[in-house]
Structure formats: C-alpha cells, structure tokens
Structure 1
C-alpha cells in the first residue's frame, strides 16, 4: 500500500462569491478566487521536449494552464490573445520563461482571417517550426431567448470559436510533419447544451465533428487530431458571460463531483494528447467534466 494518499476529487469544494465582469474578455485579476493554472503544482517530465506549440487564448484560463504545463514538459510556446489581455499574457509569459522555454506573444483578433494567417506565420518563424496547434480561444454570452439573438453576436461566436479554428488549421497543416498534433477545445455543451448558450453550444458540437473529420483526413499524413471537452471550469470566461449572480455562485456544483474544475485539471489531457504516449489516439474526445457524461 502506498504511503501517499490520493487526492479526493471532491476537493476543494465550496461556492464562489457573487461576481460579474461587464465585458469579455474577462481578466484573471478581477476574479475571486484566482484560478489555479498549475503555477505551483505542475511538475514536468520532459514529455514534450523540443516541441513548438501555438495556443490561442493562451493568456489565461485553460490556455495559460496548458502553456505552463507545456513549458515545463520542454516545449516552446506562442500564445494568441486579444490586445486588452496584455497583462494576463505577460503573466503567462513569465511562467513559461521561468521554466526555461521561449514564449512568443501574439496579440490578435482571430475573428479576422488575416489575423489567423499572420499568427501561424509568426509562430512558425519565431519558434522555428510548429508541432502542436491548440485552437482554444472562445467567446460566449448568456442568451435570454432565441427571439433576442442578434446576427452580429452569432457571427462573433461562430468566427471566434469555429471559423478561426478551421483557418488556423488550414494555415498550420501544410507546415506540420508526421508526429504533429492538433487539439481543439470543445465543451460539455457539445453533449449537454444549455438553452442560454445556444450559439456557443452549437460551435462546440461542430468542433467535435471537425476534430473527427480532420483526424480522418490527416491520419495518412501522420498528424493526429483530437478534442478536449471541459466541463464547468473556473476561468475568466465565467464571470464575463453575463450569467445571473446565483449561477456564478453555484458554478459547477451540479456535477457528480460537486464542484467546478480548475484550469490546471485540464492540462494533463492536453499534455497526453500532444505526447508520444498518445501515438495511437486520434479522432478522440477526452471529457474533463467532473463526472458529467459526455
């Protein structure tokens, strides 16, 4: 019997203080409590030594947790973020460089096609190649009903979450070699959609189909494509979505584990899927949902 006790997955439990951020993107400093990105816990084992990764939405939340884990596993990273997220991006850069790896900062609005073209080109040039693509940036807002939907908001959600993913893959794939990996961020919303997140849920369901179809296309080239489907994870997106205050306070308590997850608890899935340990895994969706069935 081991002397080391396994972590109780129900911990840490508890509710969040009522809070709201008026606009997206949400910012880490304005959250209470501050999310755990693995700053003090992730221990690398060299599983991604020498690889080059491009992570969109890499300034905060899941993207920051992945950037930290990748750097400590030996990868150089480029992160894409909106210009107003510069402070969060610089904090991510600090953790990456403290791990002894290179971090390229690429502020851009990925709803523009040229921005998608440019960030892939700049990441390849400044990193010296590209082995891993993680289209992770996302936009969501609480909707009050289908009759209130505005075309501009639908377009923003689809361009941020779905169109940019396809464009980034289009630009990256011609420069990727056998062993490369694309990992998209889907959501529990793809399987259990909420009416208040109608357009967001649609994009996350579409990303499952995208990952599965692209895995079939790129398998013969030796490029793997997979998806991670997070459940309720405590990121700046949550207080900036426009949820009612009580929903934020009780966020994640409807999962079988009874709590929201932290960004650090997603990092392992992204590390595994990019590593040689997942050499026969492609077209898969890895749910990290606190027990909610996907």
Structure 2
C-alpha cells in the first residue's frame, strides 16, 4: 500500500518535476533521467521522515540536475557551443492535441530563454530557474548550493540581467503570421520582404550535427533563407516549445525543424535543427521518417 501511495503521489508531481529538470538541463532525455532518479530515491526512502513530498522531490530533481550541469562543465561540454536545447515539437494542424501533447506544451519554455540559460553557470541557472520560474524561496535554494541566502540572491540577480529582454510575443496566431510571411518571401526570393520580417540584429543558430553555426544580422539571415529555399522542401506549421515554428519535409521525410522568436512583429531569433540524430528523434515523435536516415 505504501508503494502504491508513493507511486500515485509521484505521478501527481511528475509534470512539475519534468518542467524543473527541462529548464535546468535543456535536454528532454536528461530531464527524464533526472525525474526517474528522483522516483528511485523516493521509493527507497523512509517517507515518514519527509514532511512535504512535493518539495522533497523538487529538491532532489534540482540537485540531480545541478550535478549533471556541473559534470558537463567538468568534461568541457559547453553546451551552447555544441548543441541547441532539445525542442518540444507538435504539428500545428488545427486539430486538438491529445492530453499528453497538451501537458508537454504546458511544460515547454521558449528556446530563446533556454539558449540564454545554457550560457549561465550551473549555480546561476539553478538560482534563477527555481526562484524566478518556480517561486522556490532563496533560503531553500541556498541550502542546495551550500551558500548564504544573500549570495544566492546575487546569483539569481546576475542571471536575471542576462535573461532580461528575452520575452517573446505570446500570441501564437500573430507569430504564425510573421513566420508564414518569412517563408513566403524566401520561396519568392524576395530579399526586401525577408529583411522586413527580420529584426536588424536577428540571430540564426543552425545545428547541422557538427556544432552550432551562427548567422547574425537581417541581410545575412535573409540571404541564407533564400539559398535554402527549395520547391521540394515543404513547410508544415508546428508548435515548437509552444511557439510558432515549422517542420520541413523533403519528399515526405523530415528534413529539419525551425523555431522562431517573434518580438514586436519581427523575428529576433531562429533555431534550425538539422543534425541527423536529433532529426531522427524528432521524426519518431512526429510519426515521420527522417530524411537523414
């Protein structure tokens, strides 16, 4: 009976725990591993000594995620230079998503924010994610980090300054209008219209599987879009981390996924996923074949 109660209680917290881990790690597989680790620890613990199961599990997931981040740094894995954060993608075909898809999107966070979080130190990331995104008190976070509350506040403050200005336009329909205009201009080879859809300081990050290639500035990004436009590459509306994006197929197989950040009616950031391993993973989640197989 005790194990059944624990399993039920854990399932009530699973979505929240995944949200914490995903924001900490930017990796769907690592987030799932952190959540599973929390369950294993809970199932082996003396629950009579746990006053608040939800808070206890949050602390465990946060600490596991922190250790994963520190291990990355120790191994020299500066993640933003090596890969883009894993996206959550569903096709936006106007149909109602099933409960699992709705839950997945509810736990998504903008890729623009994840890219910035990936540039923070592990301690800064933990302080910001737990306090600013999940309202965990600084005293509790300080205990996890073995720091004072004041020091932990300073970590979150530094992170907050890095994150400031990364709030995208929240109206998905308005985002979609801008993204559709971008692709229409690209197909027509119309550089002026393309540049008009882009912020002058737009940044495109493309992951082709051998690291991140970055393009900066409206003219550079527009030129790249025209170069890659092809009649056989079909764009399908998708929600990427809850925002307007596209899945691009080539002869019916998934070729790439693109995520867009739209601020004040212009595209400010683009993430392009074309790494074979990641496209294969996304294709499987969308029920498609990969063009890179």
TM-score strictly above 0.5: no
Structure with the bigger percentage of strand: 2
Q: Which has the higher contact order (CA 8 A, sep 6+)?
A: 1
> Normalised by the size of structure 1, how large is the TM-score?
0.26
Q: TM-score if structure 2 supplies the norm length?
A: 0.26
Greater helix fraction, Structure 1 or Structure 2: 2
Larger Rg: 2
